[in-house]
């Protein structure tokens, strides 16, 4: 049991088999099994056999949201990584990626939201290019030098052929459904104002929400084109990160909510997959260079 050769619930040898294995009388084996049962180490089940006792898993009082950490540490143990080493391994996996990203978008509000989000969440340095310049030499150079290309479903059909040609992984970004539902819920209750820097954002959102009964409640405000004073007091207001960076905080309407381009779980998983693949590729390249140098 201590060596792990048998585990909880395993059936142990019968009296006859154990007596033959150890060369002793069956009464001696029965006495030993009874002693183990008295210690709670085995279960003696009439007409069934003798089994290693099943021990309940120890459960300590802890916050419910910490279960994922326990599961991660256990999975690390299963893969030969101790808890004390796991943090360093995870950090090295991301830092070793040496990866950058370029976002291909049609408006500065959406592009900056995506690039800042990947920098905040993953520490990946990012820039963006306008989809209208997709076939320009400078844009293609930036894409070819990036570790990954980000875009939205609106432009995926245009960007995918270029990413494939330049052999860059493409991530089609989608937003967190709960965050999107929050904005839709606000729209369904009445007028909602979104302050941005680029008029093309409003066009894109109108296209995305075409046919929705609450589209009439959408009130886009473009800095430099529209008057912020036209927003009624107390109205729900969202501000893009691009707009927030160009305006002093006191100029924003009271209660304005900063828009975060929160990634969906699928998008986060795809980005992590690209980063881990890049990290493994970098590690393999380093090992190959070390072998060549040796």
Does the global pTM surpass 0.75?
Answer: no
Is 282 a residue whose pLDDT tops 70?
no
Q: Are residues 151 and 269 in the same domain?
A: yes
- Here the CATH number for the domain that contains residue 139 is 3.40.50.11230
- Here the CATH number for the domain that contains residue 27 is 1.10.10.10
Tens-digit pLDDT profile for residues 54-99: 866 555 566 666 778 888 888 888 888 998 898 888 877 777 557 8
Q: Is residue 90 part of a domain?
A: no
pLDDT at 293: 66
pLDDT at 140: 96
Q: Are residues 111 and 216 in the same domain?
A: no
Tens-digit pLDDT profile for residues 185-220: 888 899 999 999 999 988 888 888 888 888 899 999
Q: Is residue 124 part of a domain?
A: yes
Q: How far apart are CA 14 and CA 155, in angstroms?
A: 69
Task: Please state, as a whole number, how many other Cβ atoms lie within 10 Å of the Cβ of residue 146.
Answer: 23
Q: Are residues 186 and 250 in the same domain?
A: yes
CA 237 vs. chain centroid, Å, equals 28
Name the domain count of the chain. 3
Tens-digit pLDDT profile for residues 216-234: 999 999 998 999 999 999 8
Containing domain of residue 12, as a range? Answer: 1-56
Q: Are residues 124 and 249 in the same domain?
A: no
Task: Give CA separation, 175 vs 121, 172, 191, in Å.
Answer: 14, 10, 22
Q: Is residue 64 part of a domain?
A: no
């Amino acid at each position: 049991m201590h060596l792990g050769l048998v585990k909880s619930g395993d059936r142990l040898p019968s009296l006859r088999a154990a007596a033959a294995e150890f060369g002793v009388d069956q009464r001696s084996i029965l006495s030993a099994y009874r002693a183990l049962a008295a210690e709670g180490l085995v279960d003696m089940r009439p007409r069934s056999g003798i089994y290693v006792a099943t021990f309940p898993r120890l459960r300590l009082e802890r916050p419910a949201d910490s279960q994922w950490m326990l599961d991660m540490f256990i999975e690390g143990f299963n893969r030969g990584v101790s808890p004390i080493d796991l943090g360093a391994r995870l950090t090295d996996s991301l830092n070793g990626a040496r990866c950058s990203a370029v976002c291909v978008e049609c408006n500065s509000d959406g592009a900056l939201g995506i690039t800042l989000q990947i920098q905040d969440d993953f520490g990946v340095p990012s820039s963006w290019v306008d989809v209208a310049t997709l076939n320009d030499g400078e844009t293609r150079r930036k894409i070819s030098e990036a570790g990954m290309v980000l875009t939205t479903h609106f432009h995926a059909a245009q960007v995918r052929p270029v990413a494939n040609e330049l052999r860059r992984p493409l991530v089609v970004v989608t937003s967190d459904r709960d965050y999107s539902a929050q904005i839709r819920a606000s729209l369904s209750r009445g007028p909602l104002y979104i302050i941005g820097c680029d008029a093309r954002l409003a066009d894109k959102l109108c296209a995305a929400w075409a046919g929705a009964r609450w589209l009439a409640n959408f009130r886009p405000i473009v800095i430099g084109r529209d008057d912020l004073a036209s927003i009624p007091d107390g109205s729900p207001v969202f501000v893009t990160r691009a707009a927030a960076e160009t305006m002093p905080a006191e100029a924003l309407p009271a209660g304005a909510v900063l828009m975060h381009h929160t990634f969906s779980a699928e998008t986060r998983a795809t980005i992590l997959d690209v980063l881990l693949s890049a990290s493994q590729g970098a590690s393999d390249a380093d090992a190959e260079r070390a072998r060549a140098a040796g």
